[in-house]
Amino acid sequence: MKILLLGEYSNVHNALAQGMRQLGHQVTVASNGDFWKDYPRDIDLKRTAGLWGKISFSLRLLWALPKLRGYDVVQLINPIFVEMKAERLFSLYRYLRKHNKRVFLCAFGMDYYWVNECRTRKSLRYSDFNLGNELRQNEDALKETADWIGTSKERLNKYIAHDCDGIITGLYEYWVCYQPLFPHKTVFIPYPIKMPCPPATIAPIGQKVKIFIGINKSRHAYKGTDIMLAAALRLVEKHTNEVELVKVESVPFAEYQRLMENSDLILDQLYSYTPSMNPLLAMSKGIVCVGGGEPEGYELLGETHLRPIINVLPNEEDVYIKLEQAIADKEKLMRHKRQSVEYVAKHHDYVKVAQQYVQLYTAELADNVPSEE
């Protein structure tokens, strides 16, 4: 198949493309590299600030348009799949729809349905937008609400969701927002992770347990890393000789991976039910995720045995207690490390995940074949 993956989120499309190429498919990734993370892509759609940035981006997009047609499948990372205003993306979406066979929408992150469902139906006990029945009032939550509710972004998201051939969710959180509204076109496929080659060697834990936390400075409070960092700093202060903390702020992907190496624990996304791309990558290396590991995520995967994630509630005290328990029992922590590698290899290996996508595409394309008279 000839496949276009349009847009990027935390290396999902780059990893997926590699898996699909292993299966013999012709895949093109067109994206901005997910801003400063700078993930690899075949067609660069990065936009820089200022008038010249706007002009050069427009020229680059015009040059790219002929390369965005003639595919069996086009997959959009998000309703805002290119750095353009939502009003202008309607026409680009229609262009893609007209000149390609099938179009799929991914639900991998911020969009109207995620914001609205978390704020209204509140299907999750906690999320980026709610804690129980209480709506979060931090700056990022309010900004995203204003950005997606009652705006052109909302209209675009609704238009694409109703018009596209299928909606692919990558986490339980997004599945539970889309599936009740689009039960016949919503599917769940886990995120793809390229396992280390050779496979990760689980080295014994040293005298100090090494804890890693990556911070996106622009979304510190929104993702809960402010609370997790506070808990980790308390732990370091109390257990100076037992814990080492590595803090990384807004670095490109390659540098992020290098700095994460040889860690024992990674702190990530306090308000999540399930691990996203960065903690999954860490888990593939035998680094234990302290974050979202709720039962619903395991159930959706059909996982009844492995429990590698140290699940924490969205408050500083619970994070601190779980961290203190983790460093106190290194034998149990080693079991978590081994299970982390096994879990990612079982559910998230990039070729296995790519095969699930290909099966979905093939079924949809087969439905499009005219029946013989």
Please tell me whether residues 160 and 227 are part of one structural domain: no
- Furthest CA-CA distance within the chain: 77
Please tell me whether residues 71 and 30 are part of one structural domain: yes
Residue 180 is classified by DSSP as T
Give 373's pLDDT tier (boundaries 50, 70, 90). Answer: very low
Please tell me whether residues 90 and 114 are part of one structural domain: yes
Question: Of 343 and 257, which is predicted with more confidence?
Answer: 343
Residue 148 resides in a domain: yes
Residue 204 resides in a domain: no
Which pLDDT belongs to residue 51?
Answer: 86
Residue 115 resides in a domain: yes
In whole angstroms, give the CA distance from residue 278 to residue 127: 18
In whole angstroms, give the CA distance from residue 278 to residue 270: 13
Question: Of 283 and 217, which is predicted with more confidence?
Answer: 283
Answer whether residue 265 shows pLDDT above 60: yes
Please tell me whether residues 167 and 265 are part of one structural domain: no
Please tell me whether residues 182 and 323 are part of one structural domain: no
CB 265 within 8 A of CB 287: yes
Residue 195 identity: M
Please tell me whether residues 165 and 228 are part of one structural domain: no
CATH number for the domain spanning 106: value is: 3.40.50.2000
Residue 357 resides in a domain: yes
Tokens of 205: 């834990």
Main-chain dihedrals φ then ψ at residue 293, nearest 5 degrees: -145, 50
CB 65 within 8 A of CB 96: no
CA 21 to chain centre: 21
Exposure of 29 in the CB half-sphere (CA atoms within 13 A): 25
Question: Of 315 and 251, which is predicted with more confidence?
Answer: 315
Burial of residue 276, with CB atoms counted within 10 A of its CB: 0-12 exposed, 13-18 middle, 19 or more buried: buried
Please tell me whether residues 172 and 308 are part of one structural domain: no
Please tell me whether residues 160 and 173 are part of one structural domain: yes
Give 371's pLDDT tier (boundaries 50, 70, 90). Answer: very low
Q: Which residues pair with 291 in a beta bridge?
A: 311
Residue 197 resides in a domain: no
For 134, the domain range is 2-192+350-367
Answer whether residue 372 shows pLDDT above 80: no
Please tell me whether residues 93 and 218 are part of one structural domain: no
Residue 310 resides in a domain: yes
Handedness of CA 186, 77, 125, 135 (dihedral sign): negative
Please tell me whether residues 21 and 170 are part of one structural domain: yes
Residue 198 resides in a domain: no
Residue 203 resides in a domain: no
Using alpha carbons, select from 154, 13, 15 the residue that is nearest to residue 74.
13
Tokens of 145: 């609400």
Answer whether residue 354 shows pLDDT above 50: yes
Tokens of 214: 């990556």
Number of structural domains in the chain: 2
User: Model confidence over 77-116: pLDDT tens digits?
Assistant: 999 999 999 999 999 999 999 999 999 999 999 999 999 9
Which pLDDT belongs to residue 368?
Answer: 58
User: Model confidence over 41-79: pLDDT tens digits?
Assistant: 999 999 988 888 889 999 999 999 999 999 999 999 999
Please tell me whether residues 35 and 182 are part of one structural domain: yes
Please tell me whether residues 65 and 122 are part of one structural domain: yes
